[in-house]
Structure 1
Amino acid sequence: MHSSSPQPPLPPARRPSARTLGLSLALVSAVAFGGSGTAAKPLIEAGLSPLHVVWLRVTGAAVVLLPLAYRHRDAFRRRPKLLIGFGLLAVAGVQACYFASISRIPVGVALLIEYLGPLLLLVYVKFVQRKPVSRAAAIGAGVAVTGLACVVEFWHGLAFDTLGVLFGLGAACCQVGYFVLADAAKQGKEQVDPMAVSAFGLLVGAVALTVFTRPWTADWSLLGGDVTMNGHVLPALLPAAWMVLVATVLAYLTGVVSVQFLSPPVAGVVANLEAVVATVTAWFLLGETLGPAQLTGGLLVLAGAFAAQTSRPAEAALPEPVPAEPRRRLTSR
């Protein structure tokens, strides 16, 4: 009988790094957010106004997350300003400013202005928070915004309306608030669970949008009927449920959690993929074709997101070395 040499132990399974997890969640969030317009369009074509569709989206998500809000109710007592600010800026502010913008300027132009947010976020981090910004993140943001300009083909609507542009910039600033406040939730001694940030943010946003949109004036009986999507008839509740559960609940939860593992600038650049996803889903589900410029722009957005995710925080200046004190002879007491 031959004795066999002991086999070396198997290496432990490698866990995904925090950065990999953060990028994966940011990608899921961008994909989920990107499908909101495709789900909303059949409802709008059936007779609901865009603002009422937004109210349905945010309020439905807030109701779904009520158990989470109750479970983390102490978070509102500890950080009320952060959670109210997130609801007003990252939820109600983005939606209200964006829809006010598209009521005055072309959708593509409004979308491009809103997604100047990642560039504004870099400016905020660099000059307001006075934190270092890596060159890769800055280059990635610039490439992504250039690609986004091609995706939305903004040159088809250059008749700018000053107020519409200002509303678009307001949406971009509110988008900056989304990443800054989500990042602030993990800072300090009173850290807030990202689930609580999403749940209370949507609750606050729903209350604010209720005042702004007056939902009692809508004909909600439309949800009991059918809608048409690219020639196919389906129950109106199907796109409504997708818009609430996937494009809002899943999108906000994964987006806020991703910022816990990534720097806000990197998460902001990855969020630009939302516009690409929105365009591609509209291509497949609504029959809206893509041109060469849009395809090229999509590749540029992907390249920009890839460049940003390879960035590392710039190294802070190292302190001057302190000269070592001369050794003292040890003496016994």
Structure 2
Amino acid sequence: MDGATRVRAWGVGLAVFSSICFGTSGPFGKALIEAGLGPLQAVWLRIATAALVLVPLALLLRARSSTRDLPRHSPRHPARSLPQRLRAHWGPLVLYGAAGVAGCQACYFVAASRLPVGVAILLEFSGPVLVLAWLRLVRRAPVHRTAAVGVAVAMAGLALVVQVWTGLTLDPLGLAAGLGAAACQAAYFLTIDRLTGHVDPLVITASGSVLAAAALAVPAAPWALPWDVLSTRVPLGGHTAPGWTLVACLGIVSTVLAYLAGVAGLQRLSAQVGAAICYTEAVAAALIAWAVLGERLTPPQLLGGAIVLTGAYLAQRAAAHHPAASGAAVPPAALDTAGK
């Protein structure tokens, strides 16, 4: 396996792993909300927990250098201190935290509260379509046909997975929030693409979680949290677990691991390919809900899951033509270390 193929394989693997981790947020979040937390309070706890884990790690592990092992690192990108890198890229980092993390989740929850959940998910996951449109119309960058086909196929499969036809209603605010979630999701992919080679996944994720927690502090009103939920046993499927363990799982698995793996995977792929592979999150969420909560999967959902996976497979084939994000050349030394 040559270096470029190894980088692509790691990118696809990390992106799929990230989608699986994101998919676990449904059961954990649903259990906490049914126990008494508000939706935005659950989101804020999730992101704040991630920040408490990520910030010490970033300070400890990346204080000296956060770019030396990146696929795009070269003598043109000399190592600088962590504060210098944060100042140099504060704009994209703020956009990542405010839109890619906080905005995406907040808009989705608003949409889900006013529209059928399946419709809200479908609207949010139109983000990859916006990524392709932005790359082609604004950046004037080539969009690989295989990636575009993969996105289209995955969108069709997603419509079956979420059964978008059930309880279909149209609420103007819900529709606007769903489209806002799509725009924020697109910003997530495009911002990571822009930061690739300049700031590493750990620093991106840590700074994004801090900014997102701050942005959601007012609407989530953490000072009014029913903190007793954390010490009581919360039903989860046919079992119960202390609320704090669900918060820990939501923060560590569904957020820390999900965002770290997602950012690391996208930095080894292009935005258009990574955006298409993210559709596997919907399949993972449905399977996890079936396994943990006993939610039944219908034949159309199973067919939709197969179609989504087909679309993701088609999209990742485009990565063979774009081994690095944005089509940048990858230094041989980086290819040798990218899979470590």
Mapped pair 1:200 → 2:189: no
Q: How far apart are 1:137 and its partner, in Å?
A: 0.6
Partner of 1:146: 156
SS of the residue 2:297 aligns to: coil
- Structure index of larger Rg: 1
* 1:255 corresponds to which of 245, 248, 262: 262
* 1:66 corresponds to which of 55, 59, 62: 55
Mapped pair 1:307 → 2:296: no
Partner of 1:212: 219
Partner of 2:296: 289
Q: How far apart are 1:55 and its partner, in Å?
A: 0.4
SS of the residue 1:156 aligns to: coil
Mapped pair 1:264 → 2:260: no
Q: How far apart are 1:69 and its partner, in Å?
A: 4.1
Letter in 2 for 1:161: D
Mapped pair 1:19 → 2:26: no
Letter in 1 for 2:119: V
Q: How far apart are 1:308 and its partner, in Å?
A: 0.5
Count residues with an aligned counterpart: 299
Partner of 1:8: none
CA distance in 2, matches of 1:260, 1:300: 26
Higher fraction of helix = 2
CA distance in 2, matches of 1:219, 1:38: 19
> Does the 8 A contact of 1:55 with 1:215 survive in 2?
yes
Partner of 1:223: 230
Letter in 2 for 1:233: T
Deviations 1:279-303 (A, max 9, x none): 1100010010000110000000000
CA distance in 1, matches of 2:231, 2:23: 25
Gap regions ≥5 residues in structure 1: 1-12, 315-333
Letter in 2 for 1:42: A
CA distance in 1, matches of 2:273, 2:167: 30
* 1:45 corresponds to which of 24, 34, 37: 34
Structure 1 stretches (4+) deviating beyond 2 angstroms? 13-16, 68-75
Q: How far apart are 1:237 and its partner, in Å?
A: 2.1
Deviations 1:247-306 (A, max 9, x none): 000011111111111010110011011111111100010010000110000000000000
Partner of 2:76: none
* 1:82 corresponds to which of 88, 92, 104: 92
Partner of 1:109: 119
Letter in 1 for 2:185: Q
Letter in 2 for 1:229: L
- The alignment's TM-score, normalised by the length of structure 2, stands at 0.85
Letter in 1 for 2:129: L
Partner of 1:134: 144
- The alignment's TM-score, normalised by the length of structure 1, stands at 0.87
CA distance in 2, matches of 1:233, 1:104: 29
SS of the residue 2:204 aligns to: helix
CA distance in 1, matches of 2:147, 2:314: 7
Q: How far apart are 1:194 and its partner, in Å?
A: 2.1
Q: How far apart are 1:313 and its partner, in Å?
A: 4.2
Partner of 2:22: 33
> Does the 8 A contact of 1:144 with 1:302 survive in 2?
yes
Q: How far apart are 1:157 and its partner, in Å?
A: 2.3
> Does the 8 A contact of 1:132 with 1:313 survive in 2?
no
Q: Equivalent pairs: percent with the same residue?
A: 45
CA distance in 2, matches of 1:229, 1:193: 35
> Does the 8 A contact of 1:86 with 1:177 survive in 2?
yes
Mapped pair 1:57 → 2:46: yes
> Does the 8 A contact of 1:186 with 1:192 survive in 2?
yes
More moved, 37-46 vs 108-117:
37-46
Gap regions ≥5 residues in structure 2: 64-81, 323-340
CA distance in 2, matches of 1:250, 1:41: 19
CA distance in 1, matches of 2:15, 2:6: 14
CA distance in 2, matches of 1:164, 1:194: 32
Letter in 2 for 1:20: A
CA distance in 1, matches of 2:38, 2:219: 13
Deviations 1:166-215 (A, max 9, x none): 1101000100010111010126xxx1122111110111001001122111
